[in-house]
Amino acid sequence: MNIFRYEMKSLRKSMMIWTLSMLALAALYLSIYPGMAKDAGDFKELLAGYPATVRAMLGINLDLITSLLGFYSMIFSFIILCGAIQAMNLGVSILSKESRERTADFLLVKPVSRTTIVSAKLAAALTTIVITNIIFISLSTLMANLAKTEDFSIKLFCMINLTMFFVQIIFIAIGMVVSVFFKKIKNVLPISLGFVFGFYLIGALLVTDSGDKVERILSPFKYFDNTYIIQNGNYEPFYLLIGAAIVVVSIAVSYIIYNKKDIHAVS
């Protein structure tokens, strides 16, 4: 419990910075919507001129784009990118922090098992993500209600927002398993950005509107299709299972390797 409280205290500042940054981004884009809705025809005509592959990369559905949910689906791809970076940072840093800050010996001589250490740190990371999403979903829903020009489904809006939570859980797990394969990590950010943007580019460049399930597996960003959510009111079970499998396997591997590896302090 002491480890959990310490981790929560150390993560508090970064959590607020990331949460406020994503809320600011949502506020900026949603403030544009009322003006766009007035010129919906021209806006739709402009987007229709984009190649189909570009529209697919940006998550643009011409039939939905002039609605608030359709517009939000397009801008949400940038918000979820920020959320993924936050989660990847957490995943990479929680198990590498002691080596990086030269406190490994202090922690590991405590009368607690490595399994307990990993569990406490993982619980702190997950709690941070849960708090971030509760704040973001609550305030972004309020913003959407202020920006709307007509009624929209709060349920679908929250379901779209909730996809960020699922993606963040996946990236926390990926970050953890990546970190245990490194003996020493001096700087978390380059690793986090490399993996997140790598997956994002894979999703953007290889995944089109063809609906190829094999290609979509390559990028967690494509596990949740906002158009599908709006039209069907649920998530695609296949990708939920793939995401869950990645999380379970990654976390299990992280526990196993962390329990066996030699922990070094960075010199």
Domain span holding position 42: 2-260
Instruction: Identify the pLDDT of residue 127.
Output: 95
Query: Is 45 a member of any domain?
Result: yes
Q: Which two tokens stand for residue 47?
A: 């987007």
Instruction: Identify the pLDDT of residue 65.
Output: 80
Query: Is 236 a member of any domain?
Result: yes
pTM of the model: 0.89
Check whether 88 has a pLDDT greater than 80.
Answer: yes
Determine contact, residues 105/187, Cβ cutoff 8 Å.
Answer: no
Average pLDDT, stretch 123-146? 95
Q: Give the chain's domain count.
A: 1
Per-residue buried b or exposed e for 49-74, using 16+ beta carbons within 10 Å of the residue's own CB:
eeeeeebbbebbbeebbbbbbbbbbb
Check whether 266 has a pLDDT greater than 50.
Answer: no
pLDDT digits (tens, 9 = 90+) for 16-61: 999 999 999 999 999 988 887 777 777 777 777 777 776 777 777 7
pLDDT digits (tens, 9 = 90+) for 149-199: 888 899 999 999 999 999 999 999 999 999 888 777 778 888 899 999 999
